[in-house]
Structure 1
Amino acid sequence: MEFLDQLLFYPLERLPFYLLTLIIAFTLHEFSHAYFANKFGDPTAKLLGRVTLNPAVHFDLLGIILLLIAGFGWARPVPVNRENFSNPRRMGIIVSAAGPLSNLLLGIVGCLIYAGMHQFGVIDGISNAKAVQGIHFFFDTFIVLNFFLFLFNLIPLPPLDGYRIVEDLVPRRVRAKLQQFEQWSIMIFLLIIVIPGFQNYTIRPLYDAAYNLSVFFLNMFKTLFGG
């Protein structure tokens, strides 16, 4: 158990809450990409069965393992053919942004429910101490991790959604130059994330920002609820 605790990026006692959160977060993230791509006229994802909320369709085993060990990971990317869009650049931005925004929405909804449970005495009415601890662990994990995934996926480096958004925002000639360096950018990104010590300047600040977002929204909803 001690070996596992040292191996994992997250505390072992919270592992079930992280896994449950990832199932929800990754599934909705990839579903959102697939849904809007299909909505805008690209049937690629639909033909591959990706317009679904079935987690098994979206999960990538290596991506999940790395997220648990290194603090970052991925689901199976949704294939998108922008040439099928009537307005490839504008619709491409929406499709790319849909994933991260789904995580932002999940984080906000988590804050709303958690703040409501506090303010209306739902948690105080539970007598089982372990159940109360489990509720706190789950919402703390669910909220912060979804905000983290929102911020992480907006990093403008391949293969993240932020890079795809930048690709569609810049002129075509700039996009062609970006694509020339895409393979090297991926390698540099992975090295920066994986090399020991660099996480203090890459992953950790994103978690700090995600935590600050959670505090902001929780306080906002508590105020709205009259707390």
Structure 2
Amino acid sequence: MQALNQIQLLAILALPVLLAITVHEAAHGWVASRLGDNTAKMLGRVTFNPIKHVDPIGTIVVPVVTFMLAGFLFGWAKPVPVNWRNLKHPRRDMALVAVAGPGANLLMALVWALLIQVGLLLLQSSQWVALPLIYSGAAGVLINVFLMVLNLLPLLPLDGGRVLNAMLPPRMAYYFSRLEPYGLIILIALLVTGLLGSILLPLVIAAVGLLPGSGIVKELFFV
């Protein structure tokens, strides 16, 4: 496969990133509504309309800047509001709401991986159809696996932190939750020092390796 330059990479990453963030956030809201809290639904956040989920800074400016300067995609969307008081089993249900986002990313990664396989089947007969499927599929796998792994880190306000918070004994959970205002600062510090990439990259590569089309993804993005 032909290597892509930064502009080409940014172009093929744009749609997968938008879908990954949108479906991730919509999944949080949908699961919350199923478990008794309609806050996100009433605010129009249980939707595939990306405008409802986009944070101008976190979804557009930060990812473009970090990608162009460091070759590393980093950003966030507007968090889906969840009122734990409306949930039938607050601690358990908050964990389920949290894990719905990474779960949606895993499902999307599988769909994009299947598109790679379709593209490979068409490669000899219709390259003009096959190559966009392969490149977009590889980008979709990468970004969804990356978001899944990132969000599963046990740090508030990430989804992994919310799952951990629900699993801790109430007293420990209280003290752990008090760290949430510092979570984004910690993430940025890890990013700037390079520690975030060192933590995420091996996990992302390992997770990608379990999916169909992993060889194409590694060839395009990790070689």
Q: TM tier, shorter chain?
A: 0.7 to 0.9
Q: Report whether the alignment pairs 1:17 with 2:12.
A: yes
Q: Which amino acid aligns with 2:188?
A: L
- Match 1:50 to one of 41, 45, 48: 45
**Alpha-carbon offset, residue 199 of structure 1:** 4.7
Instruction: State the partner residue of 1:126.
Output: 126
**Alpha-carbon offset, residue 88 of structure 1:** 0.9
Q: Report whether the alignment pairs 1:208 with 2:205.
A: yes
Contact 2:156 2:177 in 1 (8 A): no
Cα-Cα RMSD: 2.0
Contact 2:118 2:133 in 1 (8 A): no
Q: Report whether the alignment pairs 1:66 with 2:62.
A: yes
**Residues in 2 aligned to 1:61 and 1:194: alpha-carbon distance in whole angstroms:** 21
Runs of 4+ residues over 4 Å off in structure 1 = none
Instruction: State the partner residue of 1:26.
Output: 21
Percent identity among equivalent residues?
Answer: 33
Contact 2:119 2:134 in 1 (8 A): no
TM-score norm. by structure 1 comes to: 0.81
**Residues in 1 aligned to 2:62 and 2:202: alpha-carbon distance in whole angstroms:** 19
Q: Across the two proteins, how many residue pairs are aligned to each other? A: 203
**Alpha-carbon offset, residue 13 of structure 1:** 1.2
**Alpha-carbon offset, residue 160 of structure 1:** 0.8
Q: Which piece of structure 1 moves more, 47-56 or 179-188?
A: 179-188
- Match 2:81 to one of 79, 82, 90: 79
Instruction: State the partner residue of 1:224.
Output: none
Structure 2 unaligned segments of length 5 or more: list them: 67-72, 215-223
Cα 1:200–1:48 change in 2 (3 A) is closer
Q: Which amino acid aligns with 2:65?
A: I
- Secondary structure at 2:209 match in 1: helix
Structure 1 unaligned segments of length 5 or more: list them: 1-9, 220-227
**Alpha-carbon offset, residue 98 of structure 1:** 0.4
Instruction: State the partner residue of 1:178.
Output: 176
**Alpha-carbon offset, residue 185 of structure 1:** 4.0
Contact 1:82 1:88 in 2 (8 A): yes
**Alpha-carbon offset, residue 122 of structure 1:** 2.3
Q: Which amino acid aligns with 2:131?
A: Q
Instruction: State the partner residue of 2:137.
Output: 139
Q: Which piece of structure 1 moves more, 107-116 or 83-92?
A: 107-116
Q: Which has the larger radius of gyration?
A: 1
**Residues in 2 aligned to 1:15 and 1:206: alpha-carbon distance in whole angstroms:** 22
Q: Which amino acid aligns with 1:202?
A: I
Instruction: State the partner residue of 2:219.
Output: none
